Amino acid sequence: VDVFQAWCGPCKPVVSLFQKIRNQVGSDLLHFAVAEADSIDALEKYRGQCEPVFLFYRGGELVAVVRGADAPLLQKTILKYL
């Protein structure tokens, strides 16, 4: 989940990375979503930050948080939890 704030929007460059990985591993294994922290109370702790935040869930449980648009770290995290 790409957590963003209304004033900066979702991290568009990372979307292509997720699409590339999704094409490699199969569409049923990887799902990508965006969530505006300003409008979701559960994401309040991610408000007011100027870096992108990516939340990784597996089986409904939060398993990792990556701060910043670090493509190699995002890819490593995705592949670790697939």
Nearby residues of 38 by Cβ (< 8 Å), 6 or more positions away = 5, 6, 47
What pLDDT score does 76 carry? 93
**How far is CA 58 from each of CA 5, 28, 36, 77, rounded to the nearest angstrom?**
24, 13, 20, 12
pTM: 0.84
What pLDDT score does 65 carry? 95
- Rounded Cα distance between 45 and 70, Å, is 21
Domain count, the chain: 1
List the domain range (segments joined by +) for residue 57: 2-81
What pLDDT score does 66 carry? 94
**Along the 82 residues of the chain, how does pLDDT read in single tens digits?**
999 887 877 777 788 888 888 888 877 878 888 898 888 999 989 888 778 899 999 989 999 999 988 889 999 999 898 8
User: 59: alpha, beta or left, given left = phi > 0 and alpha = psi -120 to 50?
Assistant: left
* CATH assignment of the domain containing 50: 3.40.30.10
